[in-house]
Amino acid sequence: MMPAAGLIARPPFPRASRPRSQPRLRLCRSICTGMKTGGLRFIHFSPARASPRLVRILRNWCGRSIGRLASQFRSSTGSVGRVHPRGGYWGSPAEGVVTHRGRPNGVVGPRTAGAGFSMCGRAQHGIVLFMLALVTSLRHPHNSNDYPRVERLLYESVVSWLRQTEDRFMIIVVGNQEPRLPPDSRVRYVPVAFPPPSPIASPRTGIPSILRDRGTKLAVGLAAARQHGAQHILFIDADDFVSRRVAAHVAAHPEAIGWRVNFPWRVNVERRAIHSHEGGTFSIVRTDLYPDPQLPLDATQSELYDGYGEKLERWLGSHLHIGSDLGLPPLPFDGALYRVGTGESHSGISMGGLGRPISRALAQEFGVPATPRTPAGLLRAVLPSQRAWKDRLAPFRGARGSER
C-alpha cells in the first residue's frame, strides 16, 4: 500500500527565502484548520515542511489515522504530499493507488488520461476513474442567433454543475469553437470540425439536423468520457441545470444501470420564475451499456454513423428513447431544470405566462438565482410578461377593429 516513489509536492523553499514572519508551526496549524473545516479542496506540503511537529499536528487536528499515514509517508519518502480533506493522498504516476481505511473516494491515483483533475476516484489499468461524466454539446456557431450568448448560457450551466456534493465527476464539452469555461480541472473541452447541420442561420433548424449534430458530438464526448474511465454518463443540454445531488447518488449506486432524470420545472432565469413541466427527461446510463465502436476523438460523422448505427440518433441525438429502451427507473428526486426563454433553444419556448417564484431551497439545489423577496420581484415572477399580455389581447383588439 505504500507508494513506490515520492509524492507530488511543491519544491521546498530555500531556507534563506523562507518567510520568517510566519513560523512553521503557525503555517501548519492554519493549513490543518482549513483541512478540518473543509475550506480547502487540497493542501500542498513540501519535503522541507514534513517535520515530526507537522505529523503531530496532523494527528491532533485531523485524526490519528491520518497522522499515522503521514508519519509512514514521511519515513518512506520524506514528504507528506498533498492531503485530501477526507483523508486520502494524491500520488505520483509511479505510485499506484493509496487508500485511507479502504475508502476509494479519498484517493487520486495515477495521473494518466485524467491528468490535472483535482478530485476523482480509483485507478484501474492506468485510467483515472470518475463515477459520473456530464457530457454536453454546443451547436455550430452558424446555427445560432447570438453565439456569444450561447457561450454565456453554457458558462452559467457549467458553474451550476460544478456544485455537486460528490467530487468524483467530470464535465465534457464538445463543440466547433472553444468557449470560455470556468477554470476548473474537472472541465474538459473536446474540439470537432463538423460542418453546420443546416444552412439556416438560426437554432430552429429542424429535428433531423438537431439529431445529426448533437448525436455525433455526443458520440465524441462519450469516447472522451470512456478514455477518462467514467462509469456513468449523463448527456445534458448546454443551457439546463442539474441537481447538486446527482453525482453523489451515482457514486452511492455504482453498479446500477442508470436512471431517468425528469424535468419537473421549466425555469426562466431572467424572470426568476419557474413553471411546471411535463414530458422532458434525460437519462443517466452506465457507460458499458452504450455501443463502443472504438473510434478516435477525431472520427468523422460518417464513421460515427457507421460505428453506432441507428443508436447514434436514437440514444445520443435524442434523449427520449434510451430510458424506455433500457427500462431505467426514475431518479428518486428532481434531477434537472429545463431552461427556457433564452432565445437560443430549438423549441422556442419562452414561458411568458403565469409563473412561480424560485425558492431559496430550489436555488441552492440547482444553482439558479432565487426570486427576490420584494414586491417587484415577486410580481415579475408570478404575472405574465408584457409580451404574453400583448399576445393574449391581440385577438380581442383585432375583433374590435373589424367591428368598427
Q: pLDDT tens digits for 293-352? A: 999 999 999 999 999 999 999 999 998 899 999 999 999 999 999 998 887 776 667 777
Quote the radius of gyration of the chain (alpha carbons, Å).
25
Q: How many angstroms separate the CA atoms of 397 and 392, rounded?
A: 10
* Structure confidence by residue, pLDDT tens digits, 59-80: 454 444 444 444 443 443 333 3
Instruction: Report the pLDDT value the prediction gives residue 353, as an integer from 0 to 100.
Output: 80
**Residues 209 and 130 sit within 8 Å (Cβ to Cβ):** no
Return the closest-CA partner of residue 322 out of 249, 250, 233, 260. Answer: 260
Q: How many angstroms separate the CA atoms of 148 and 250, rounded?
A: 33
**Residues 156 and 368 sit within 8 Å (Cβ to Cβ):** no
pLDDT < 50 positions in the chain: 1-50, 59, 61-128
For each of the domains in the chain, give its residue range(s) and CATH number, in order of start. Answer: 15-109 (no CATH), 132-382 (3.90.550)
Instruction: Report the pLDDT value the prediction gives residue 33, as an integer from 0 to 100.
Output: 41
Q: How many angstroms separate the CA atoms of 388 and 50, rounded?
A: 66
Q: Which residues contact 63 (CB under 8 A, 6 or more apart)?
A: 87
Q: Which residues contact 45 (CB under 8 A, 6 or more apart)?
A: 9, 10, 31, 54, 79, 80, 81, 82, 83
Instruction: Report the pLDDT value the prediction gives residue 396, as an integer from 0 to 100.
Output: 65
